[in-house]
Amino acid sequence: MHQVKSSPLVLFVALLWMVGCCSAEESTDCGESGELCQQKKLDFFSNSTNVTDFAYGLTANMAAVVLYGSTFVPVKRIETGDGMFYHWVSCASIWIVSLLGEIVFQSPKFHPIAMLGGFIWATGSITVVTIVKAIGLGLGILIWGSSSLLMGWASSRFGWFGIDPQDVSKPILNYCGAGLCLISGLIFFFVKSDVGRHSQSETTPLLLDRRTISGSYGRHSSEYWIDAIGPRNRRIIGCVLAVVSGLLYGSSFVPILYIKNHSSCPDSIFYKASVYDLDYVHAQTSGVFVGSTLYFIIYCAAMKSKPRVYSRAILPGFLSGLMWTVGTYCWFLANNYLTSVITFPLVTAGYGLVAALWGSLVFKEIKGAVNCSIFFLASCVVLAGSLLTVFSKF
């Protein structure tokens, strides 16, 4: 594991403390003062390192929360049609950014099994555009964030999918936190979001069928299927898809945990594998790109080589991919300082709240006093649940 270097200020203060302890030792006749002073030195260095690690981890964690919660903001008011082209563009951006990161960090070994997690993530993100169109940015991310948190908690707590179960100091508190996250997800279903539709001028794809140009089915040619469904059914579909996506997101990091858990087993093929999370980012994103490309090829075949490609979604798609990848680097860096048991619930709940702020304050998706009250209550419940999950570790 990579070692964390203390800042010069911390080292300088530590040096002053050592000098003071040594001076105190020379000025006393007690035989036990030397051992006491040495213990004070060790305690100070340990506390300084812990505080520094916590500060670095918290900063990286906050950066991941903001970036994840803002990932889909660039494309919120851009028409993406069925979302397949946007999905592929954003995933290509994810892989390109991670390739640059791989050149910088130079991971010791590429583990293909880590690509499986990226493939699972790409599968879950296919329906992102549909979810945002159906129930809005804030509500959609909060619902899939809650289900993702529950899946990540359950797989780690009970040792699903071959990973080692993680014990906690306060099991009752841990279960209470998970229960609150589940309750919050149920409360979110009662929140009604006001999702506006794009104007016709924004819904002209780059590639069109000739029959569309000639006007045989002109006006509705760019209408996505979710737009033609009634508000109630659209809301139900959006919520169900958000839950499914969250479950896939929550299990997408299991392959990396599996590799790390078996790195100390001499009989495992992953023996002596790196336990530093950043070494697996490129493998993870390679799976994301492979999965998205495969799905886009299947989509093009289903559309008979006439995919709906929206040119205005290209740059926002690249920006979304950039934000997601940098957020992943920040999250994995925070894991190194705080462990995934702490960072996972904080990131999952945190980026949902950031997206909720975007959706309610900027895009005005949540309206009405009662509706806003329910939304606020559910947000507080999921935040409380994530914090209880974190505190149960200590």
154-213, pLDDT tens digit by residue?
Answer: 887 788 888 878 777 888 888 888 888 788 878 877 877 766 554 444 444 445 443 443
pLDDT at residue number 371: 81
| Residue 25 exposed, middle or buried by CB count within 10 Å (0-12, 13-18, 19+) | middle
pTM (2 decimals)?
0.75
Residues of the chain with pLDDT under 50: 1-46, 198-206, 208-222
Residue 300: other Cβ atoms inside 10 A? 16
pLDDT at residue number 309: 87
pLDDT at residue number 356: 79
pLDDT at residue number 255: 92
On whether the CB atoms of residues 207 and 66 are closer than 8 A, the answer is no
Report which of 265, 290, 260, 262 is spatially closest to residue 277, judged by C-alpha positions: 260
Residue 83: other Cβ atoms inside 10 A? 26
In residues, how long is the chain?
394
pLDDT at residue number 52: 82
Question: Which of helix, strand or coil describes residue 325?
Answer: helix
pLDDT at residue number 66: 92
Residue 274: other Cβ atoms inside 10 A? 18
Backbone angles phi, psi at 76, to 5 degrees: -60, -45
pLDDT at residue number 98: 94
pLDDT at residue number 213: 38
The DSSP code for 323 is H
pLDDT at residue number 169: 81
Q: What crossing angle do the helices spanning 254-261 and 114-125 adopt, rounded to 10°?
A: 160
